[in-house]
Structure 1
Amino acid sequence: MSAIRAGQIATGLLACVTARLTALQRPVRHASVYHGRQPPPMEHCDCHHRPGSPPGRGHAWARVAQIDAEASTKQLDVRTWWATIQLGIYRCVPMTDDGAPQDLAEQTAQANALLVDASALIHVVECCAAVEDRRVKVQPWTPVGPSGGCAGGTMTLYVEL
């Protein structure tokens, strides 16, 4: 049951992330719970928005990275299960034709926009019903990229199941 509960929490956290991004007027087009040993590849940033496609750009995701037991002092007496859940948001970051970053003003604007996404992840940790009444340990938000015109950030949570 712990694995099922971890999936439900990851799904609930992702719903909170997408709702918060929409409230901040930074919706994403793609949102998924991802299964894999590593975070999802940076391939849904939506750098080429097509007319008529849904609003929003980027990819918000959640991943159950690990489920682990916290044992009591008695050998093999498992008291508490914890899920390691990683949350992330990837966005398109404009590059020049030769792959270089844009000018300094554009770099600053992109960095500030990605920090708005970071604020959404922080808000979710503090306010999401999916982790209400649970013990949660939080790792720092960490930037990722740019890679292939995508950049973003991740945050890892340890959630008591």
Structure 2
Amino acid sequence: MDCSPYRVAAGLLAAVQAHLADTRAGAAQRIAVYPHAAPAIEFGCNMAWVGVGSIAPIPGAKGPCGTSGWTLDLTIGVARCWPVADGNSAPPTAAVDSAARDVFDDGEAMRRAVVDAFDDMEFTVKSWQPMNPQGGAHGSTMTVTVHVGWGAFVEPGSPMLPGDPRA
């Protein structure tokens, strides 16, 4: 059991990106761990994220990190560009069908990523939900709960990304 919720989220994000590479639409161009469930989608499409929804104690449990056990709710998300037609008219049916296929492939990539990232941890997939088009993007999210310890700071176990303002 990992003692850093950030490391758990970052490991899941790496697995998501690896499995997205095998989909019709390919790997996401922008990926990040978010300290909340979802990013602002208006910053672009073709992005993937893992966001923290909540962390709650497991009553009466004792984890290997010297603290109580915790449930970590994570939201995996993938946003893709929604097809747009000239003149702001409805997109062609074939483009909408293609977008639907991309979203279902992304959902399968998320499912595979959860299985890979949490192969030695207790987890529960709560739901997968498509997102309506908004701001030129659409996509889907999956919510998963995993049991973690919570007894370690993020560093030094997780290297900072290049450009981190705290570096």
TM-score, normalised to structure 1, is 0.79
1:16 maps to amino acid: A
Higher RCO structure, 1 or 2 (CA under 8 Å, sep 6+):
2
Pair 1:71-2:74 in alignment: no
1:120 maps to amino acid: A
Per-residue deviation at 1:99?
Answer: 4.0
Task: Write the distance in 2 (CA, Å) between the matches of 1:124 and 1:142.
Answer: 16
Contact 2:2 / 2:8 at 8 angstroms: preserved in 1?
no
1:84 maps to amino acid: D
Could you say what secondary structure the match of 2:79 adopts?
A: strand
Per-residue deviation at 1:98?
Answer: 4.8
Per-residue deviation at 1:4?
Answer: 5.8
2:143 maps to amino acid: T
Runs of 5+ unmatched residues, structure 2: 62-66, 149-167
Contact 2:127 / 2:144 at 8 angstroms: preserved in 1?
no
TM-score, normalised to structure 2, is 0.76
* Residues 7-156 of structure 1 aligned to structure 2 (within 5 Å): 7-24=6-23, 26-36=26-36, 38-46=37-45, 58-72=46-60, 79-128=68-117, 131-156=118-143
Per-residue deviation at 1:79?
Answer: 4.7
Task: Write the distance in 2 (CA, Å) between the matches of 1:45 and 1:101.
Answer: 20
User: Once the two structures are aligned, what percentage of the paired residues are identical?
Assistant: 27
Could you say what secondary structure the match of 2:42 adopts?
A: coil
Cα distance 1:103–1:83, how it changes in 2: closer, same or farther (>3 A)? Answer: same
Per-residue deviation at 1:92?
Answer: 0.4
Q: Spell out structure 1 runs of 4+ moving beyond 2 A.
A: 43-46, 96-101
RMSD: 2.2
Cα distance 1:136–1:117, how it changes in 2: closer, same or farther (>3 A)? Answer: same
Could you say what secondary structure the match of 2:83 adopts?
A: coil
2:109 maps to amino acid: A
Task: Write the distance in 1 (CA, Å) between the matches of 2:50 and 2:109.
Answer: 14
After superposition, what is the alpha-carbon deviation per residue over 1:14-43, rounded to whole angstroms, capped at 9, x for unaligned? 00011111133611110001123x511112
Contact 1:84 / 1:158 at 8 angstroms: preserved in 2?
yes
Runs of 5+ unmatched residues, structure 1: 47-57
